[in-house]
Structure 1
Amino acid sequence: MRQNPSFTLQDPAELKRLVRENPWVTLVSATPEGMVASHYPVILDEEREELTLLSHVGRPDELLHGLGEREVLVIVQGPHGYISPGWYDANPAVPTWNFVVAHLYGVPEILSPEENYRVLGRLVDAFEDALPEPRRMEGDPADAAYAQRISSGTVGFRLTPTRVVAKSKLSQNKPEAVVDTIIEQLEGDGPYAQPQLAGEMRRAHERLRAARNG
C-alpha cells in the first residue's frame, strides 16, 4: 500500500482500536503454489503491551498458508466509503474514497493445543459478551465436551507484527468547511451514507484541531 505522510496511521492505541472494532480480517500468504487468502476473526492479546493478534485457522488452512514458516500479511479493514466531488465546494474536484486500513506483517507463532483452546474460549467470549444471554465455550459439560472435540480441527496462532503499514485517509487535506459537509452527507440518508466513516472523520479532525491549538 502506497503511504502518504498526511494519512499515515501510527498511534498504537488507534491501531488497537481499529482491530477491536473491525475483527474480521484477511490473512494473505505468498506460497510456492501462489498467493493464498483466508478470512478469520481476531482478538488482541491484551496481556501484551505491543500490538499482538490472536486467532486460529481451520485445518488444513495452516498447511495452505505454511503458517509459522513464512511471513504473512493480515489486512484489517475499517470503515470506508465513497466521497462525491459534489460534496466539496465549487472548485474542480474528482471523487475519492475515504478509508481506514492496516497491513500487519510478520511470522505467526503457532500455539500449543492447550493455548489454542484457551484462545478459542477468549474469542467466543469477545463476541458473546454483547448478548443478553451469552453462550460460553464451557457453559455446561456438553458444551465443553463439544468444544474440546472441535478445537482439534483448528490451529491457533499469535502474530506480533514486525512491520505495520496503516493508513487513515479521512479528508485531512481538505478545508474544515468541506470536511463538515462530507460528514453531514455520510451521516445523512443518501445512497452513500456511512455513519461509521463519519465517526472516524470526526475523531481524526478533532485530533487535528487539538494538535493545531496546542
Structure 2
Amino acid sequence: MHNPDKWKMNSNQQMHSFIKEFSFAAIISHDLNASHLPLLLKEKEGENGTLYGHFARTNHHWKFADGAKVLVIFSGPHAYISPTWYKAAPAVPTWNYSAVHAKGVIQLTDLDTTLKALDETVKKYEANLTIPEGFKSKLSKGIVGFKINIESLQGKDKLGQHRSIEDQLGVTSALSKADNPESQLLYQYMVSKNLGTGS
C-alpha cells in the first residue's frame, strides 16, 4: 500500500482498534482468489495478533489456502472530496479513506477451535443470540475454519490532515451537511479520530 508518513497509523494498537471496528475484510491469496469475510482479531496472540474466521465449505478458496500467504484488506469509511470545499485554489478532486492491510499465513483450524471462534464472532455482533447445539453441530459441517497469524500490518488514514486548517474546515463542513451515508460516516470517523477536522 502506498503509505506516506503523513497518513500512517503508527501503532499496532491503532490498527487493531480499526480491525475490530471494521472487521469485514477481503482475503486475497497469491493466486488472486479473494473472499469477503468477517474476521475476529485476537490482538494478544502472536507478535501482531491473529485473525480467525471461516470459509463456507462450498467456497473452494479454502482448498488452496492452507499454508498460503495472504493479504487481508480492512476498509473503513471513505468518500469523494470536492476541490470546491477548499479555500486554496486551484485544487483537484480526491478521495478520503482509511484502510488497514494485514499480511500473514492461513492455517486451517480444527473443529473445536473453529466453533469457539464462531461463538465469539456471533457474540461480538449479537451478544444475546443463542444457537442451539444440535443446529450448530449441523451447521459446522458446512464451514471450514482458519486462522491467520499476522506477520505485518500497515494502516492508513488519508483524511486531509496535511492540508491547511481552512481547507480542513471546508471539508468537514461539507461532509457534515452531505446527504449520502458514505460522507456522513467519513465525517463521523474523522471527528472520532480528530484528524482532518481543523482542530
Q: TM-score, normalised by structure 1?
A: 0.83
Counterpart of 1:68 in structure 2 is 66
Supply the AA of the counterpart residue of 2:107: E
* Root mean square deviation of aligned Cα: 2.3
Deviation for aligned residue 1:166: 2.1
Matched, 1:164 2:164: no
Q: Is the 8 A contact 2:35 2:61 kept in 1?
A: no
Supply the AA of the counterpart residue of 1:155: V
C-alpha separation between the residues in 2 aligned to 1:71 and 1:208? 40
Counterpart secondary structure, 1:66: helix
Counterpart of 1:104 in structure 2 is 102
Matched, 1:40 2:37: yes
C-alpha separation between the residues in 1 aligned to 2:61 and 2:159? 38
Deviation for aligned residue 1:198: 1.5
Supply the AA of the counterpart residue of 2:160: S
Counterpart of 1:179 in structure 2 is 168
Q: How many residues align?
A: 197
**Structure 1, gaps ≥5 residues long:** 138-142, 210-214
Counterpart of 2:134 in structure 1 is 145
Counterpart of 1:28 in structure 2 is 28
C-alpha separation between the residues in 1 aligned to 2:23 and 2:37? 8
C-alpha separation between the residues in 1 aligned to 2:149 and 2:198? 29
Q: TM-score, normalised by structure 2?
A: 0.88
Matched, 1:114 2:112: yes
Deviation for aligned residue 1:206: 8.3
Q: Percent of counterpart pairs with the same letter? A: 26
Task: Summarize the Cα distance change of 1:167–1:155 in structure 2 as closer, same or farther, 3 Å threshold.
Answer: same
Supply the AA of the counterpart residue of 2:9: L
Task: Summarize the Cα distance change of 1:184–1:192 in structure 2 as closer, same or farther, 3 Å threshold.
Answer: farther
Counterpart of 1:53 in structure 2 is 51
Counterpart of 1:198 in structure 2 is 187
Q: Is the 8 A contact 2:54 2:145 kept in 1?
A: yes
Counterpart secondary structure, 2:146: strand
Deviations along 1:135-160, whole A, 9 cap, x unmatched?
223xxxxx210111111221112222
Q: Is the 8 A contact 1:121 1:136 kept in 2?
A: no
**Structure 2, gaps ≥5 residues long:** none
Deviations along 1:139-194, whole A, 9 cap, x unmatched?
xxxx2101111112211122222122221101021011211221121111345862
Counterpart secondary structure, 1:9: coil
Task: Summarize the Cα distance change of 1:164–1:207 in structure 2 as closer, same or farther, 3 Å threshold.
Answer: farther
Counterpart secondary structure, 1:123: helix
Task: Summarize the Cα distance change of 1:36–1:187 in structure 2 as closer, same or farther, 3 Å threshold.
Answer: same
Supply the AA of the counterpart residue of 2:157: S
Task: Summarize the Cα distance change of 1:195–1:207 in structure 2 as closer, same or farther, 3 Å threshold.
Answer: closer
Task: Summarize the Cα distance change of 1:69–1:61 in structure 2 as closer, same or farther, 3 Å threshold.
Answer: farther
C-alpha separation between the residues in 1 aligned to 2:130 and 2:182? 36
Name which of structure 1's ranges 162-171 and 61-70 shifts more when overlaid on structure 2: 61-70
Deviation for aligned residue 1:105: 0.9
C-alpha separation between the residues in 2 aligned to 1:207 and 1:184? 9
Deviation for aligned residue 1:43: 1.6
Q: Is the 8 A contact 1:43 1:54 kept in 2?
A: yes
C-alpha separation between the residues in 1 aligned to 2:194 and 2:63? 36
Counterpart of 2:92 in structure 1 is 94
Counterpart secondary structure, 1:14: helix
Task: Summarize the Cα distance change of 1:180–1:36 in structure 2 as closer, same or farther, 3 Å threshold.
Answer: same
